[in-house]
Structure 1
């Protein structure tokens, strides 16, 4: 079973080293590339004031967060939910830095000690769309993911959007994504990795005698209707 968790956080500011804290965490579960609907979401009292610029981004005021649980009260539930899963985060170094700072305060080790691994979807996007804007909003536009309801950043909402973006980025089909460019530049085609069908044992279904006879009858009718000018007759002669 392949279990992946899409994770996002909102914070009081930009620097865990300066004491900024997590104020919201949102997680969305996907098993075998299917969203399960099993989400995890907490607002968290950071025990400090948020920077004014940060509040403009996420809209979570100090007054709103004052009665929310501390990180220490929800940490075990967060780790249990994420344990053993592959974690997908957009700009992972930012969120992991804050998670590690919170866990160190509680002597819980590093976040990566508890999970199977971390994938940074921003790194993936930069490899797929070099030189383009690869913010979550830009990817939603490029991959036609509806984010019209996203007026402010929210951890759960962004984790849900990321899950859909990630599915579109890793479709695994012999297909091309059309990238119209974020600045109205020239349209580019970006190849998506193809499925290796050699790994599958594909059955060969042969037609029955009745199906062969019916097919030959249709071909005969087409040949008659064209006055004997059907191309497959000449191709059969060449072969």
Structure 2
């Protein structure tokens, strides 16, 4: 029942000729924000990523044009520059343009690059943050990103080697748990670099595939064996990889009851 003492909810108007960079969350439609839903229902044109769950697109304005702009590693994909130019073009046509990105636009989603292109072109935009897979995926696997007795910091990093990649020895030296995006292909090399940087071979690892969706599966392993275990598992990306003491909490906190491939 609506509380009459509360003011009505006032959501921003999606103005024609503007672009909204919206996070769709990691997959579960229940994690979609109210502002993201508001944008979906108003948009004239939706440019969406490969990892956006189809159930989320079902919330869209029925009259909206849907344009796929998915990027997947190792597969033919649109160039980022072309996607940014397309957003500018659509905005200049006077459309309400929704750039729908999996997770959060500004967490390894290249939303910052798209925003800079819009600024350079003088196209107004809004950013609608989303729930990032790096936090939601572990939570759905029963792994808290932080726990008072386990860690006082957590590091989000990409396993992608563009720009030279992360300094794994420096990250290992922090002893903070790592949550890795796009690290499937490089996991073996990353594990070796972390061990060379001082992490114990027995350090716990969890690989969470298709996080927060009905297809979610979890592989638990160690730094020493994770690459081999992953190769033998039959699992496939997309995946979030968690490394560190927080992984051990899954044994008690697996509230979904998704079986592990140990």
* TM band (smaller chain): 0.3 to 0.5
What is the TM-score when the length of structure 1 is the normalising length? 0.32
Length-normalised TM-score, structure 2: 0.30
Structure with the higher helix share, 1 or 2: 1
Please say which structure displays the higher CA radius of gyration. Answer: 1
